[in-house]
Amino acid sequence: MVTAESLSTDRYVVTSIPEDLDEKQTEVLKAFVNYDQVTWNIWFTGTGVENAEPLTTPDAYQSLKNYYDPIAGETVNGGLRIAIISVAVTAPDLASRQAEVRVCSDQADLTSYDTSGTENTDPETLQGRYERVVTLVYDGTTWRTDDERTLSTNECWV
């Protein structure tokens, strides 16, 4: 059984998940959390962008690399709290199955540092609460993150 606690780590705390998820929704939830934890670990450590490649579509991975490459080696400290608002599996045809996960990420406790260790936190872009929707696609063997967009800032609650 998947619980918010079982999906959490020391720095990535899942505060809630929807009740009564079916088997497919649970698969999607686990794939999303794995992707989100891996990408947050990239920001926490400033390394390991290649670890996201098997969890994303080629376009999503290229987009992540384009964002990461100019800030490679910069790190983030603190903890992230995330509430999973909904998990929806769409397009039931296996060949084109998609899913959307809607979340609220509370990043208020995060601080960023440049490669020399100097704090460079921009509260406008790092700290806050962000409602996001993440689209995943099923490639025949696994769910991969395809797109991620922010819906609102400081309007959702964890």
Distance CA 26, CA 46 (A): 30
Torsion angle of alpha carbons 25, 31, 37, 42, nearest 10°? Answer: -150
Model confidence at 74: pLDDT above 80: yes
Instruction: Locate 13 and state its tokens.
Output: 């705390």
Give the mean model confidence (pLDDT) for residues 76-99: 87
Q: pTM here?
A: 0.94
What are residue 14's DSSP bridge partners?
82
- What's the pLDDT tens digit per position in 101-151? 999 999 999 999 999 999 999 888 889 999 999 999 998 899 999 999 999
- pLDDT in the model for residue 92: 62
Question: Which helix H or strand E contains 100, and what residues bound it?
Answer: strand 98-106
Contact in structure between 37 and 106 (CB atoms under 8 Å): no
| Domains, the chain, ordered by start | 12-153 (3.10.450.240)
